[in-house]
Amino acid sequence: MNAQVLGVMIPLLALAIPVLAVTFWGLTKLASVRAQQRAQLADGDTLQRVEVLEEQVVVLQQQLSETQERLDFAERLLPRPGEEGRSH
Protein backbone atom coordinates (compact mmCIF):
# COMPACT_ATOMS: atom_id res chain seq x y z
CA MET A 1 0.00 0.00 0.00
CA ASN A 2 1.21 3.46 -0.69
CA ALA A 3 1.25 6.19 1.92
CA GLN A 4 -1.79 8.05 0.52
CA VAL A 5 -4.09 5.01 0.71
CA LEU A 6 -2.83 4.22 4.18
CA GLY A 7 -3.34 7.84 5.20
CA VAL A 8 -7.01 7.61 4.17
CA MET A 9 -7.65 4.15 5.58
CA ILE A 10 -6.46 4.86 9.12
CA PRO A 11 -8.99 7.66 9.84
CA LEU A 12 -11.77 5.66 8.18
CA LEU A 13 -10.96 2.65 10.33
CA ALA A 14 -10.72 4.85 13.41
CA LEU A 15 -14.23 6.17 12.70
CA ALA A 16 -15.67 2.78 11.76
CA ILE A 17 -14.77 1.11 15.07
CA PRO A 18 -16.90 3.40 17.29
CA VAL A 19 -19.75 3.34 14.75
CA LEU A 20 -19.75 -0.45 14.80
CA ALA A 21 -19.55 -0.50 18.60
CA VAL A 22 -22.54 1.83 18.93
CA THR A 23 -24.48 -0.20 16.36
CA PHE A 24 -23.86 -3.49 18.15
CA TRP A 25 -24.65 -1.90 21.52
CA GLY A 26 -27.95 -0.66 20.10
CA LEU A 27 -28.77 -4.08 18.70
CA THR A 28 -28.09 -5.78 22.04
CA LYS A 29 -30.21 -3.18 23.82
CA LEU A 30 -33.02 -3.77 21.32
CA ALA A 31 -32.76 -7.53 21.83
CA SER A 32 -32.98 -7.15 25.61
CA VAL A 33 -36.04 -4.90 25.30
CA ARG A 34 -37.73 -7.44 23.06
CA ALA A 35 -36.90 -10.23 25.50
CA GLN A 36 -38.46 -8.21 28.33
CA GLN A 37 -41.59 -7.63 26.24
CA ARG A 38 -41.89 -11.35 25.54
CA ALA A 39 -41.51 -12.09 29.23
CA GLN A 40 -44.28 -9.63 30.05
CA LEU A 41 -46.54 -11.25 27.46
CA ALA A 42 -46.08 -14.60 29.21
CA ASP A 43 -48.49 -13.58 31.92
CA GLY A 44 -50.65 -15.83 34.08
CA ASP A 45 -53.13 -16.56 31.29
CA THR A 46 -50.43 -17.92 29.03
CA LEU A 47 -48.86 -19.94 31.81
CA GLN A 48 -52.27 -21.34 32.72
CA ARG A 49 -52.86 -22.38 29.11
CA VAL A 50 -49.48 -24.11 29.00
CA GLU A 51 -50.29 -26.01 32.19
CA VAL A 52 -53.61 -27.16 30.71
CA LEU A 53 -51.84 -28.31 27.56
CA GLU A 54 -49.26 -30.21 29.63
CA GLU A 55 -52.05 -32.00 31.48
CA GLN A 56 -53.68 -32.90 28.17
CA VAL A 57 -50.37 -34.30 26.89
CA VAL A 58 -50.07 -36.50 29.99
CA VAL A 59 -53.61 -37.83 29.45
CA LEU A 60 -52.88 -38.51 25.77
CA GLN A 61 -49.67 -40.35 26.68
CA GLN A 62 -51.60 -42.54 29.11
CA GLN A 63 -54.25 -43.28 26.49
CA LEU A 64 -51.56 -44.13 23.94
CA SER A 65 -49.88 -46.48 26.40
CA GLU A 66 -53.18 -48.26 27.12
CA THR A 67 -53.93 -48.53 23.41
CA GLN A 68 -50.52 -50.04 22.75
CA GLU A 69 -51.06 -52.59 25.52
CA ARG A 70 -54.43 -53.54 24.04
CA LEU A 71 -52.88 -53.88 20.59
CA ASP A 72 -50.15 -56.15 21.97
CA PHE A 73 -52.79 -58.29 23.69
CA ALA A 74 -54.89 -58.52 20.52
CA GLU A 75 -51.85 -59.47 18.46
CA ARG A 76 -51.07 -62.29 20.89
CA LEU A 77 -54.63 -63.61 20.59
CA LEU A 78 -54.78 -63.57 16.80
CA PRO A 79 -53.44 -66.69 15.08
CA ARG A 80 -50.26 -66.22 13.13
CA PRO A 81 -50.11 -67.22 9.46
CA GLY A 82 -49.42 -70.94 9.21
CA GLU A 83 -50.80 -71.66 12.68
CA GLU A 84 -54.49 -71.53 11.78
CA GLY A 85 -55.02 -75.28 11.63
CA ARG A 86 -52.86 -76.17 14.63
CA SER A 87 -54.27 -76.71 18.06
CA HIS A 88 -52.76 -74.97 21.06
Rounded CA separation 9/15 (Å): 10
Rounded CA separation 9/19 (Å): 15
For 34-47, how does the pLDDT look when each residue is reduced to its tens digit (9 = 90+)?
888 777 776 667 77
Output the pLDDT for position 70: 93
Domain extent listing, the chain: 1-41, 43-77
Alpha helices in the chain (DSSP H): 3-41, 44-77
Residue 84, pLDDT > 70, answer: no
Residue 87, pLDDT > 60, answer: no
Rounded CA separation 52/77 (Å): 38
Bigger pLDDT: 45 or 33?
33
Output the pLDDT for position 63: 96
